Amino acid sequence: MRPPRLRLRLTGAAEAAVRSGHPWVYSDKVRDQNRPGQAGEVAVVYDRNDRFLALGLYDPASPLALRILHRGSPVTLDAAWWAQRLRDALARRSTVATPGTTGYRAVNGESDGFPGLVVDRYADCLVVKAYTPAWLGTLASTGEPGPGPSTRPSIPGLALIPLLQDVLQPARIVLRLSRNVAAAAEGLGLADGQNLHGHDDAPSVVFHEDGLAFESDVVRGQKTGFFLDQRGNRREVGRLSEGGRVLNVFSFSGGFSVHAARGGAREVTDLDISPHALASARRNMALNHGLPAVAGARHVQVQADAFRWLEGAPRASWDLVILDPPSMAKREHERAGAIEAYGRLARLGAACVAPGGRLLAASCSAHVTTAEFLASTRAALRASGVAWVEERVAGHEPDHPAGFPEAQYLKALQARRAG
Ligand code: SAH
């Protein structure tokens, strides 16, 4: 027999937050519920007057107990509703995909109405990444209704993989799981990196960005294999590199480096601690050797800890220094240390910039706000002893919409050394 629907009531503050569009409800904000619930159940939230408030994906094991799917008036979650939601998400990034740009984020979690789920497209391969176990039942099932007692509930109306196949026509769909989800997935026969559709099991997929070719390690790579979120800054780097020497710190697979080389950089240096990242950057450069500018740029690689290497690096020697480190604050208590580290990094990077050259400093730490990052980077520039002109502050690209404050993780500051 089916259990009654899971019904929740929230504290006044949480109710107000949900009403104003915030998609997260923490477990200590759930005031009462009619029964215990399972990960992936759709819970109905009622307000203090017993009126329908919202539907959300429930997860009893997470501090983030509920991720809102819908608020306002009651709806039936059926196949048409989910198809519309996906089409709305695709419409938001309709300007991003072009014949020359085949890598983009198709679904960005909460901000596209698929809370805790990301879908990235790399040419004809989709990568579906789950950040909450709430999606596992749906991913493990064929979309047929009727969760048995030993399985996880699947989300009503949603056959995710058939829907993605239907709307996006991929040749392959790869599943990626965040660390907190991988263990729960095992029991359901789901594993990080497995194909959910298609037979090609090559670890990397080649896609294009502004006509440049890149590989993405969709099976094992960080995030979904490539940092699609930096596309806007990569374009800018392409425009600023003509004739210059470019230092790409935390270069990963060389995204910025290839754009710099095509933009006419005389020399591009990758700096990363990981030999795998550097090898991938070499392959990405080689993929574009058909372009005379890329073939003509001198490509240098340094495997080192960035902070240590920059301490001893030649001063005032590069026309463009890019600082795009990994997240330095994965948790709230790491915030203060991260702000300090961004300042230190900006100070070290700024010292490498030649007169008239530029610094592009980025942060992807969600726990460090844009204001905190900018303040720390600006302070480092002021303390550098030379004058800087701020040229640009950048945030999210259209395929990475951020619909609520916690989703705004990416920020960047570009400045030119005046003297
Ligand atoms: N800028 C990249 C993304 C950076 S990902 C892009 O645009 O694609 C973070 C990179 O930093 C990874 O490749 C990781 O190997 C590297 N890294 C992490 N800690 C490091 C350190 N202390 N010194 C140098 N590189 C580091």
- 147: confidence class by pLDDT, cuts 50, 70, 90: very low
pLDDT in the model for residue 150? 45
Confidence of residue 3 (pLDDT cuts 50, 70, 90): confident
Identify the burial level of 109 via C-beta atoms within 10 angstroms of its C-beta, where 0-12 means exposed, 13-18 middle and 19 or more buried: buried
Segments of 157-265 assigned E as strands? 172-177, 195-197, 204-209, 212-217, 245-249
Give the model's pLDDT for residue 152: 79
Ligand 1 binding pocket includes 328 (Cβ within 6 Å): no
Question: Each residue of 123-161: b (16+ CB within 10 Å) or e?
Answer: bebbbbbbbbbbbbbbbbbeeeeebeeebbbbbbbbbbb
CA dihedral 39, 42, 48, 52 (to 10 degrees): 180
Cα gap 228→119, rounded to integer Å: 12
Is pLDDT of 126 > 90? Answer: yes
Residue 326: C-alpha distances to residues 123, 246, 357, 362, 375 (Å): 25, 19, 24, 10, 19
DSSP 98: B
Confidence of residue 330 (pLDDT cuts 50, 70, 90): confident
**Residue 409 identity (one-letter amino acid):** Y
Q: Please give the single-letter amino acid code of residue 139.
A: L
List domains and CATH numbers for the chain: 7-71 (2.30.130.10), 79-205 (3.30.750.80), 227-417 (3.40.50.150)
* Ligand 1 mean position, distance from CA 272 (Å): 6
Mean pLDDT (whole number) for 387-412: 97
Query: Does the pLDDT of residue 21 top 80, yes or no?
Result: yes
Q: What does the alpha-carbon distance between residue 311 and residue 175 come to, in Å, rounded to a whole number?
A: 40
pLDDT of 30 strictly over 80 = yes
More confident residue, 150 or 7: 7
User: Is 181 a pocket residue for ligand 1 (Cβ < 6 Å)?
Assistant: no
pLDDT at 212: 99
Ligand 1 neighbour 114 (Cβ under 6 A): no
Token couple for 308: 């240590």
Q: What is the pLDDT of residues 73-87, one digit of tens each?
A: 999 999 999 999 999
Known catalytic residues are: 364
| Mean pLDDT, residues 167-182 taken together | 96
CA 253 to ligand 1: nearest atom = 8
Q: 283: CA distance to ligand 1 center in Å?
A: 17
Count the neighbouring beta carbons within 10 Å of the beta carbon of residue 383.
Answer: 11
Residue 222 has pLDDT above 90, yes or no: yes
Asked if the model's pLDDT at residue 127 lies above 60, the reply is: yes
Instruction: Taking residues 292-306, report their average pLDDT.
Output: 98
* Nearest atom of ligand 1 to the alpha carbon of 230: 7
Q: Is the pLDDT of residue 275 over 70?
A: yes
Q: Tell me the CA–centroid distance for residue 274 and ligand 1, in Å.
A: 8
Does the C-beta of 281 come closer than 6 Å to ligand 1? no
- The Å distance, Cα 277 to ligand 1 centre, comes to 8
- CB distance 214 to ligand 1 below 6 Å: no
How much of the chain exceeds pLDDT 70, in percent? 98
Whether residue 146 has pLDDT greater than 60: no
In angstroms, what is the span from residue 138 Cα to ligand 1's centroid?
33
Report the pLDDT averaged over residues 215-228: 97
Kindly state the average pLDDT of the residues 386-392. 98
Contacting residues for 201 by C-beta, under 8 A, at least 6 apart: 195, 219
- Please work out whether the CB of residue 275 comes within 6 Å of at least one atom of ligand 1: no
Q: What's the pLDDT score for residue 142?
A: 53
What does pLDDT average to over the chain? Answer: 96
Atom 3, ligand 1: residue with shortest CA distance: 252
